[in-house]
Structure 1
């Protein structure tokens, strides 16, 4: 199909929905739709915009050739990740010591790569002789969610900016313990494109009523599900203190700042020992484990004397073997250790290391030597309570957290979001931790170096939280809970199967003319 015929078919398809615009404008409309979508997520949380972007893209792709679908979806992805994930520039330039030009180039390549991954599934949305709006709705919704799932594991995954996170404050949040964030994303996208087609003057009234009833039913069910208690209380509440030391990232690994760092944790923790648990953030102690033993023994004695459980992040080194882990260790009343299993590319390890390490300073970050821990770990325990632990990036993987939480009473996540600076990244990260609380029906304790440190209730709300970029001690109560939500039992598989069935129905050979 040549460019002219592609343009003509697009005009006809869109006009069939009561809309018309120049084909030259469509890439810019797609870019705009993508740029608006992250505004529905943290920190702005303008959740109605979650319906604008997908609806606009659905209308733009309707009737297009696969080539044009890929092109327009790519432009949408550029807007989505250019606005929502370009904070990686801060890590590359401010802390990776790359020049402004190089940092912009690497950020642009990162955004373009994510946009390409976003576009790949939607390129096939019109590979069917069936162009009835209902079949198209099924295909588009399924491919959108399968694209989010693809981004959660491809090339170790970047599970960021899932549209389901936008609905934390709406009745659709009730679906999270049942279907997880992918299920919420699916209902969000179906709502968006159903509303778009309902606004078309050429959509039949009976179809509009059917779509409206289906969407209303999903929202009503979500509201009902919000009232359900999926887990039960276990024992007495626990008093928790989160120590946020606000160590500047540029000084964290400097030998001259080691003693000031340790002293800051001593001083901030002085009032925290009256709590049951004290939490220090990821890599709070900027030393290798075996070199830090004298300080750890001091903290072990302090925690034991006050009958307190202290958990801190530290880099663990294996004696006689150059293997390092990003770990959390329990002291005092806490026992065990957890080694991080999902690593951050370039931040904790360097892909293609033999070619990239040493090329520029960004590929020589001091923590980019980490090995992943065993997937089957006993982890951390405080008395009879088992903790599900997620270090930094791990909290953004819904199925990983659900699997690790099934026999655990509380979810602990520790992080150092100083890498993201004054960007949207840390607040997006916090929102994903809030969704994990919803999916699992458990409290999430989030201890960070520079904020936001928070105690998150099972309904996803912030019970206590710190400000960013301040020294703080956040104190509050956590109620251990037991029992599995439906999502913890099944993971994302049912949602993916629903998407597969939607695709099968949407790509079926038509039995009758579409009109």
Structure 2
């Protein structure tokens, strides 16, 4: 125990290692017990520290987690941003160091205002703070909702909690488990207190066990046959004007003989503005309509603005359906450049193709294909739990298109797939996922991959999906109940801490 409370470099180094093992709980490793273990280590490492010491320790934990879990950022900057290894490594480290502050601030708050005397309320308050950190990280400055601990449970014992409170409810249960076990193992408690803590820790696991066979949604109509096209277009060639004709021909040839009800192409499969591809799209629209098929493709669009044009990353439906969706959650530097006037032109990474998109309107009609309403997410959008739930509540199918070629053969695309799986589980709906280089997959309402095709191969994934109706509790309420619970716990914890301080002052 003594090594955990050292305020110096040894303790901070241990915190970094505790954070660095976090990605092992997530895809592609999926060693889910590491999630509560990592949280337990952080809980131990924050004991008896001053707020300033806790700040640095929390930052060390976050730095380890993001360096290990988001190393794929280096691939984007180096391989496709034409940055040198030193520059790409420096930018990746700077990004991870900045995002690690999301762990530093809660650690400071914990030590300054929330940490209690030994007892039942400590792990409860720590779990509430953990979830508040994840939620805040998914919102602040457009958010970076990556490496949530709850994703580790897709194939774990707590998966059944996802339709109740989403990935954040699972994170709450894992944080409660890790902090509670650490509390029990390192502090002396009277038997009643030990039993109370043990009972609290067991509660979410028993609830998940009881909900394993609960069905929240039901089939709607007949299954649809689907064909998801994976073009495997080299990212370095995707936006080259001389390759446009070959790209359009490739997707047409891969799809023209598909007899499925629904054909899906990836994000920006048509790598040219819709204005310039009208002839090609009209031909496909007529072909699909005459054969009673629907085709959904990613395509960039533009609309007139007072001072020129606004550009959007979009999805559109051809044939037996209608609608166009414009992406709302944009990727910093990939789709827009913060501080554009300063950064444009400094290095090639800040001038990536199609990095000047605008945000789509908040109120958009869902896509309609073969009589079904599709909640659509373009790439990064699928990682936002509440955003995805709001769209899914009005849908019968989920659809996400992406181009993860930016991340090469790193763990990034597999982490991205895992998040799409969680969205299917939260919503109790089938998810169709079409990508340029992988992972193209059909995901069932339990979040399991029903079918997939190998990454970095060209092909068509054929299968069936069943439209679903009904609302899971998470689709109905999203994160509001859990948010209110966590705020109540944190408020009460702060009150108790203040009262303890007053009692100590009176006693002294």
Q: Match for residue 466 of structure 2?
A: 479
The number of aligned residues is 497
Correspondence 1:63 to 2:82: no
CA contact (8 A) 1:457 1:463 kept: yes
Q: Select which of 196, 209, 232 maps to 2:195.
A: 209
CA distance in 2, matches of 1:127, 1:363: 40
Deviation per residue, 1:383-422 (Å, 9 max, x gap): 4311111100000011011101111110111000001111
Correspondence 1:266 to 2:243: no
The answer for unaligned runs of 5 or more in structure 1 is 1-13
What's the CA shift for 1:134? 2.7
Q: Select which of 267, 273, 283 maps to 1:298.
A: 283
Correspondence 1:109 to 2:94: yes
Deviation per residue, 1:475-509 (Å, 9 max, x gap): 11111111111111111111111111221232312
Q: Match for residue 432 of structure 2?
A: 445
What's the CA shift for 1:223? 1.8
CA distance in 2, matches of 1:137, 1:506: 11
CA distance in 2, matches of 1:300, 1:327: 17
CA distance in 2, matches of 1:352, 1:305: 48
CA distance in 2, matches of 1:201, 1:65: 19
Q: Match for residue 135 of structure 2?
A: 149
Correspondence 1:189 to 2:175: yes
Deviation per residue, 1:154-174 (Å, 9 max, x gap): 111010000010111122111
CA contact (8 A) 2:262 2:370 kept: no
CA distance in 1, matches of 2:87, 2:21: 27
CA contact (8 A) 1:122 1:140 kept: no
Deviation per residue, 1:190-221 (Å, 9 max, x gap): 01111222223634443332222222221011
Secondary structure at the aligned position of 1:506 is classed as helix
What's the CA shift for 1:21? 6.1
CA distance in 1, matches of 2:176, 2:455: 36
Q: Match for residue 367 of structure 2?
A: 380
What's the CA shift for 1:142? 1.5
CA distance in 2, matches of 1:438, 1:294: 39
- Say if 1:69 and 1:241 are closer, same or farther in 2 by CA, change over 3 A: same
The 5 Å alignment of 1:221-300 reads 221-272=207-258, 274-300=259-285
CA contact (8 A) 2:5 2:11 kept: no
CA distance in 2, matches of 1:34, 1:22: 17
Q: Match for residue 32 of structure 1?
A: 17
Q: Match for residue 499 of structure 1?
A: 486
Q: Match for residue 349 of structure 1?
A: 336
CA contact (8 A) 1:138 1:505 kept: no
CA contact (8 A) 2:421 2:443 kept: yes
What's the CA shift for 1:41? 0.4
Q: Match for residue 451 of structure 2?
A: 464
CA distance in 2, matches of 1:204, 1:42: 40
CA contact (8 A) 2:5 2:48 kept: no
The answer for unaligned runs of 5 or more in structure 2 is none
Correspondence 1:358 to 2:345: yes
CA distance in 1, matches of 2:490, 2:226: 47
CA contact (8 A) 1:328 1:338 kept: yes
The 5 Å alignment of 1:281-430 reads 281-318=266-303, 321-430=308-417
CA contact (8 A) 1:284 1:449 kept: yes
CA contact (8 A) 1:135 1:505 kept: no
CA distance in 1, matches of 2:190, 2:453: 52
Q: Match for residue 122 of structure 1?
A: 107
CA distance in 1, matches of 2:55, 2:5: 20
CA contact (8 A) 1:63 1:131 kept: no
Secondary structure at the aligned position of 1:412 is classed as strand
CA distance in 2, matches of 1:474, 1:487: 30
